[in-house]
Amino acid sequence: MESDLFEQDHEDYREVAREFVRREVEPNLERWEEQRLVDRDVWAAAGKQGLLGLQVPEEYGGPGVDDFRFRVAACTEIVAVGAASLQSGFATNDDIVLGYLLGMATEEQKARWLPGFVTGETIGAIAMTEPGAGSDLRGIRTSARRDGDEWVIDGSKTFITNGILADLVVVVAQTDPEAGSRGFTLFVVETGTEGFRRGRKLDKVGLAAQDTAELFFDGVRVPDTQRLGEVGTGLQSLMANLPRERLGIAMSAQTTAEAILEWTLEHVTAREAFGKPLSALQTVSHTVAELRMKVEVSRAYFDRCVRELNAGTLTAVDAAKAKWWATEMQWQVVDAGVQLHGGYGYMNEYAVARAFRDARVQRIYGGSNEVMKEIVARDLTRAR
């Protein structure tokens, strides 16, 4: 897909990502799907190629590059081979967990945790969702009570991306039930901490290779030095990080839709029916023309949002629009792509079939698209 978003440095970085995908990802995709887990080794390999932790400052082992276009370049190559599960894991680290550590961690905490995000040795997770609290984070019941210089965490989380492999988990806990939105605080729980255990690896409709788990905290004690940010600022911190998180979901949706369109075009031009290529049939050619238009229009808005994120001006409302629009567009493209592949589109050996399963959750996580509509609607009525 043509875009003026990238400069030469981004194109060079994309070549590095393409080679990484060719060498480390494509040969292992089927095995990862079958074992329902991405090999941990691929994280270290990505770290060696400089594909992780770009925002980490030089003093903590990273390049200190805060330019989201590099993330877009790498994502484009990863999803081009249908590796949505891997992309989801990387995005959780770089576009979500890392943001909290960079923005809220003390110098000691940064020195302790950030280097591993660059090398791929540290995999992170964010534990927000609970069995009774999804998009409405104020419904969180996991609690943390102060006990001297420690905090005692009790509760459970579900649908946690990277939950099985995670070395550290940023946990959202209620610290003051009477304080409303000021009653939540973030803590970092490391693997091996007594009372912290992982439940089952959840069996999902799609993203089979992406580890998603239940997490349990039974009297987990963490020192106050593992509190992230000030007491009572948890929800405010979550809100502050949402623009990048939601743009990350839009990025995955946009680049995946572009890949699906390419696979579909290849199929309809190569596949023959009634003695001529499928693309010669007007109903097919008009369908792919419409898909191309939707993808290109979406790309224009996405590129604008990327530039605004880099400039520090992307609003939560515009990020919600991008997430909503791109994921809806992705679903339209993949649904049409399966249809135009015919019976082959329903076969698991075809990337478009896997993309169909993987795409469905995009309209749910990061805040359901119904919530995105509410955010946009409230902004409109406030403006009146």
Sign of CA dihedral 25, 352, 13, 323: negative
The answer to whether the CB of 144 falls within 8 A of the CB of 185 is yes
β pairing state of 124-127 and 168-174 = parallel
Best CA proximity match to 261, nearest among 281, 282, 290, 283: 290
Q: What is the distance between the terminal CA atoms of the chain, rounded to a whole angstrom? A: 38
Pair 119, 93: CB distance under 8 Å: no
In this structure, are strands 212-223 and 168-174 parallel, antiparallel, or unpaired? unpaired
- Report the distance separating Cα 271 and Cα 288, nearest Å: 14
DSSP 151: E
Question: Among residues 245, 290, 349, 374, which one is catalytic?
Answer: 245
> Could you confirm whether 245 is annotated as catalytic?
yes
- Give the burial class of 162: count Cβ atoms within 10 A of its Cβ; 0-12 exposed, 13-18 middle, 19 or more buried: buried
- The phi, psi pair for 276, rounded to 5°, reads -150, 160
Distance CA 34, CA 163 (A): 18
Cβ-count burial 233-257 (b if 16+ within 10 Å, e if not): bbbebbeebbbbbbbbbbbbbbbbb
Conformation bin of residue 191: beta by default, left when phi > 0, alpha when psi is -120 to 50: beta
Task: Specify the amino acid at residue 89.
Answer: G
DSSP string, 68-137: HHHHHHHHHHHHTTT-HHHHHHHHIIIIIIHHHHHHH--HHHHHHHHHHHHHT---EEEE--BTTBSS-G
Which residues are marked as active site? 245
